[in-house]
Amino acid sequence: MSRFVKVGQLTIIDVSGKAHVHGPGGEPNATIRITDKRLYRDLFFNPELRAGEAYMDGTLICEEGGIRGLLNVFAHNRDNLRGHPMQKALKGWLKKIRKWHQRNKTSASRKNVQHHYDLSNDFYRLFLDEDLQYSCAYWPTLDISLEEAQALKKTHIAAKLNLKPGDRVLDIGCGWGGMAIYLAREYGVSVVGVTLSDEQHAMGRQRVIDAGLEDKVDIRIQDYRDINETFDAVVSVGMFEHVGVAHYLEYFSKIKELMSEDGTALVHSIGRKGGPGTTGAWIRKYIFPGGYSPALSETFAEIEKAGLWVTDVEILRLHYAETLAEWDRRFQANREQVAEMFDEKFCRMWEFYLVISELSFRLGKHMNFQIQMSNAVDSLPTTRNYMLDK
């Protein structure tokens, strides 16, 4: 731990009650208590998995600074931890088997999606915006609400699709239907939205009825790989993270097939600075089984193989950090209701997820990217000016 904590201070109170202080002092600062001796060994061999599990089951207690304080210390010192020979060996081994962790064939994809998204629609209402946008919002300034930032995200994406009234749009991973409804209502297009979540499908269909857009929006439970239609535009927001490295060529080849010759596609996804990596063991086990946030290098390699034109790329830095911070604030404001829906262990799991995710964007190597693609070189205007008019 002395080798690990080089910024701030971490105090660990062991099972016997003795305090061990690590780090030079100052901020960030946290104090934790360990109540199970088995954690001494477990945290050494697999800290990123076992720390989250121990916090969930109550054998790691945050005495000062809360879970945000502990994870802030980790975020500032993670490179020191990962530089340890034991951790480097573990990471190297995980990279070799990552495709096994990301096997997302049709049956596995549905199971993985349901693990996360079928928890409860009422639960997601407690911390998302009113439109239930469960992806990175767009923050041109920080003096706006989450609702405004999510609305701007939809506008930003729609501008890149260069839509015309009457176009047919496919929304891959449509969530609760917010983007599909928005595009149909504001741009006069018809939208097919596909999801693998029963809860999202039921609510999405009802929202379409409530909006009076049954003739414009069709929300389906369907794997995108099973669609055999042609669309003027394809949009996918926050779904590419669930595809898996072994399926990237399949994904982009299918987008090419689904898109008309003069169509446009926009993929909005979490990505990572630097080269290919792996999904953290705790996130993979408890939050997003089969999930992975790709490096741009491995993404572009498969786009090239699929024969698509990349017509625009934008990197959104820190936007997701602000989004997650607001989700965490709303989650904490409704924590008692969440505990009634599930239990205290679930609450600790979810707050660990929200905070560690925020810090991975604020202090780590995660960001969001938006990649615009087309089949033909002349499908879109040659400058970005058209986006300003949308």
Whole-number pLDDT of residue 222 = 97
Q: Where would I find the H helices in the chain?
A: 38-45, 47-57, 66-82, 85-96, 98-101, 106-117, 121-125, 146-161, 178-187, 198-210, 248-258, 281-286, 296-306, 319-333, 335-341, 344-362, 385-388
Whole-number pLDDT of residue 114 = 66
pLDDT (average), residues 207-234: 97
- In one-letter notation, the amino acid at residue 385 is N
What separation in angstroms does the CA of 13 have from each of 58, 79, 173, 348? 14, 24, 45, 20
304: number of Cβ within 10 Å: 12
The gap from C-alpha 293 to its chain's centroid, in whole angstroms, comes to: 8
Angle at 39 between CA 37 and CA 44, to 5 degrees: 125
Question: Residue 289, preceding bond cis, omega within 30 degrees?
Answer: no
- In one-letter notation, the amino acid at residue 1 is M
What separation in angstroms does the CA of 384 have from each of 145, 155, 235, 308? 27, 15, 18, 19
Q: Which CATH number fits domain 102-388: 3.40.50.150, 3.40.50.300, 3.20.20.330, 3.30.365.10?
A: 3.40.50.150
For residue range 227-275, list pLDDT tens digits in order.
Answer: 999 999 999 999 999 999 999 999 999 999 999 999 999 999 999 998 8
Whole-number pLDDT of residue 80 = 74
Nearest CA to 6 among 67, 82, 68? 82
Q: How far apart are the first and last CA of the chain?
A: 53
pLDDT (average), residues 305-314: 98
Q: How confident is the model at residue 103 (pLDDT cuts 50, 70, 90)?
A: low
Nearest CA to 307 among 253, 263, 251? 253
pLDDT (average), residues 124-137: 97
For residue range 270-295, list pLDDT tens digits in order.
Answer: 999 988 988 888 999 999 888 899 99
178: number of Cβ within 10 Å: 25
- In one-letter notation, the amino acid at residue 153 is K
Spatial distance between the Cα atoms of 324 and 75, rounded to a whole number of angstroms = 16
Nearest CA to 250 among 93, 102, 129, 75? 102
The answer to whether the beta carbons of residues 193 and 222 sit under 8 Å apart is no
- 310: enclosing H helix or E strand: strand 309-316
Reduce the DSSP state of residue 108 to 3 states and report it: helix
pLDDT (average), residues 89-106: 54
For residue range 170-195, list pLDDT tens digits in order.
Answer: 999 999 999 999 999 999 999 999 99
Domain ranges, ordered by start, for the chain = 8-96, 102-388
The answer to whether the beta carbons of residues 30 and 65 sit under 8 Å apart is yes
Whole-number pLDDT of residue 269 = 98
Whole-number pLDDT of residue 180 = 98
Spatial distance between the Cα atoms of 234 and 374, rounded to a whole number of angstroms = 10
Q: Which two three-digit tokens encode residue 58?
A: 């109550």
389: number of Cβ within 10 Å: 7
For residue range 50-96, list pLDDT tens digits in order.
Answer: 999 999 999 999 999 999 999 999 999 988 776 556 555 555 545 55
Q: How confident is the model at residue 298 (pLDDT cuts 50, 70, 90)?
A: very high
Reduce the DSSP state of residue 331 to 3 states and report it: helix
The answer to whether the beta carbons of residues 12 and 37 sit under 8 Å apart is no
pLDDT (average), residues 345-355: 97
* Res. 97: pLDDT tops 60: no
Average pLDDT score over the chain: 92
